[in-house]
Structure 1
Amino acid sequence: MNKKRGQQSMVFAFPPVITSTANIVGPMEGEGILTEFYDQIMEDNLNNKNSWELCESYMMEWAIRTAVAKDNCVMEDVDYVLAGDLLNQLMSTHFAIRNLDRPFLGLYGACSTMVESMLIGSTLIDGGYANKIVAAVSSHHDTAERQYRFPTEQGVQRPMISQWTVTGASAAVLSVIGTGPRITAATVGKIVDMGIKDPNAMGPAMAPAAADTIWRHFSDTGRQPGYYDMIYTGDLGNVGKSLVIELFKERGVDLSANYEDCGCMIYKKNQDAHSGASGCASSGIVFTGYIYKMLLGKKMRKILLVGTGSLHSPTSYQQKESIPCIAHAIAVEI
């Protein structure tokens, strides 16, 4: 069976089952819109650790171990862990995974990493190379600010177009058998760079990549937007979400009826997140919490999750480079 569809997509012959998920968030996320869908809410952004980076590692390890425990298995049953974060050399991920003693693939797709890890995990299971995989991500507002922008102690004023990096971690267990929603198809994105250089404008930078991948998914699979109950992008925020809708209008397609961005679903308006949420954990905590439970309860049966990533670095910004962006998509159905 030819599993390739069109230029960038694939349909799985043996769709992996998402048999369990887990997530953990910081206090700001816990006070937001989706409070009831989080497994643990920390009291502060350090959680009794000596640094924000150690706290982020703790969150990822906790999410992985909790997802595995929910799956009624042990770490030794996991064939591979696929995970990543936002920091240089996947710092938080490597310190988290060293305690798990499992085969590991570190992934960097910026904020698209949750979908990227589930996409790659699905191909491994569909190809018969694994029976059980854990896909995981983490991000932390204070570690990201320290690396990409300014120390939080400086209290630098943020422009209104900027987004708030989510403090949290999420994990999903993908299995060859079991009950739960299945990952039925996937689309691998291309790098799209529209020349934007402002690292605060990540939503506008990533929106064209998101629109390109969604459009390619429809073209490759022959599906229309109405095939899905909902289409979710990762962390475009209010500005980026509006741009995706406009880009589809230019193609004669109304995406507004069943489209939402995870970055618009986490914080309340009075929390001063400006344009919304960002970070690896933005789509991660929304998917492993709210979306997963909606699928399990059959309140939604088919969704398209599009992870979006801004692939700049402190070095590329200092060298005045523009921001290359990426988006990957998975179709999840029950």
Structure 2
Amino acid sequence: MKNKTKKVGKHTIKFDNPPKIISTYSIVGPKEGQGPLKTYFDEILSDDTCGKDSFEKAESDMMHTAIKSAIERVKLKEENIDYLFAGDLLNQITSSTFAARQLNIPFFGLYGACSTMAESLSIAAMFIDGDFATNVVASTSSHFSSSERQFRFPLEYGCQRCGTCQWTVTGSGAMVLSKEGNFPGITYVTTGVVKDYGVKDVNNMGAAMAPAAVDTIYRHFQDTGRKPDYYDVIATGDLGRVGKEITSKLLNEYGCDIRANYVDCGDIIFDEKVQKTDAGGSGCGCSAVVMAGYFYKKLMRKEITTMLLISTGALMSTTSSLQGESIPGIAHAVAIEFKDDYSPLKK
């Protein structure tokens, strides 16, 4: 007897009973709080150090606040959460582990660079659908200042930025997933494949990550049989203006035109002309806060009912870049829908 599989095609999982996103919380830094999406974020910091003596400690504090607040928003307690899936950009994902040490929740630390929000949502949804958990939290964070000095230059150096550079988002987003409730549900996840087209420029993350985004988006539509116009919004996470343009062009060459409903979180979180953010936003916190803040509120208001979130990550390190390695990319896709009846998924 053949085992029943929930796989659709080679890279996609379908949830007949979609795990629900029952709560979110988004916290951002001052610069993000001055951008076009400022009214959608739950908390805007006036001090990006959070009163701590380092930016790294501030980032961990942001994540702890986001996780605790998302749990409390639906009147749950730490003991009601079965697992925490979280990650960030810092060495040994210290923002996440140091936040988790203050929480009495079983913890899985994840690293997918800027793709980690979709990665954590994917695995959290699988755990719930597989009856391994009832309530799970998915969270990520990033901080401009901690990322700059780890991956680029000390802030004191005053390095001149180029047009393809992206501004790492200071922020953290957390989402609580559960089995039941009248909330947006995760219907499909498409897991990405590592792609590397030889880009070595650490100041052009969009170009490095775009091939992975193209591959995952294309595979999602191939696996599910859906067309781009099924979704109200197709949102890549962290490509910025340059990566978005490359992704749109390459997909169009594949006969997959997503231009009518395609946005990038890094492209919309800042106003480049006013805020001088070059190619836009990036970082683990970018798709996290835009999803947990902006898109989740639009879903709850039924301003949109279907969206595909594709968080993208550049899987490089300071060591690999200094050794002359190219930059591998990864992208994971999560289909999120808010419907009164999910029964068509069971057909």
Normalising by structure 2, we get a TM-score of 0.95
Letter in 1 for 2:12: S
Following TM superposition, the consecutive aligned residue runs of length 4 or more in structure 1 with deviations greater than 3 angstroms are none
1:300 aligns with 2:284: no
Once the two structures are superposed, residues 179-201 of structure 1 have per-residue CA deviations (whole angstroms, 9 ceiling, x without a partner) of 21000011000000000001111
Distance 2:307 2:248 in 1: 17
Measure how far apart 1:253 and its partner are.
Answer: 2.7
The 5-angstrom pairing of residues 1-334 of structure 1 reads: 1-269=4-272, 270-334=274-338
- Check whether the contact 2:218–2:256 (CA below 8 A) recurs between aligned residues: no
Q: Indicate if the aligned counterparts of 2:137 and 2:174 stay in contact, CA closer than 8 A.
A: yes
Deviation at 1:107, TM superposition (A): 0.2
* Structure 2: runs of 5+ lacking an equivalent: 339-347
Unmatched 5+ stretches in structure 1: none
Letter in 2 for 1:310: A
* Deviation sequence 1:126-180 (CA, Å, 0-9, x none): 0000000000001000000010010011110011100000000010000011221
RMSD over aligned CA atoms reads 0.7
User: What TM-score does the superposition give when structure 1 sets the normalisation length?
Assistant: 0.99
Determine helix, strand or coil for the equivalent of 1:89. Answer: helix
Tell me the secondary structure at the aligned position of residue 200 of structure 2: coil
- Letter paired with 1:51: S
1:320 match: secondary structure: coil
> Which string of whole-angstrom CA distances, capped at 9 and with x for unpartnered residues, describes residues 90-119 of structure 1?
011111110001100000000000010000
Q: What is the CA distance between 1:297 and its match in structure 2?
A: 0.7
Distance in 2 (alpha carbons) for counterparts of 1:307 and 1:251: 20
Q: Tell me the distance in 1 between the aligned counterparts of 2:326 and 2:97.
A: 28
Distance (whole Å) between structure 2 residues aligned to residue 4 and residue 84 of structure 1: 25
Rounded to whole Å, the distance in 1 between the matches of 2:197 and 2:256 is: 22
Residue 341 (structure 2) aligns with: none
Q: Counterpart of 2:44 in structure 1: which amino acid?
A: I
Secondary structure in structure 2 of the residue aligned to 1:120: helix
The structural deviation recorded for 1:77 is: 0.2
Cα distance in structure 2, aligned partners of 1:284 and 1:122: 16
The code of the aligned residue for 1:318 comes to L
Measure, in 1, the Cα distance between the counterparts of 2:316 and 2:97.
Answer: 21
Q: Tell whether the 8 Å contact from 2:166 to 2:240 is kept in structure 1 after alignment.
A: yes
CA distance in 1, matches of 2:190, 2:252: 21
Aligned positions, number = 334
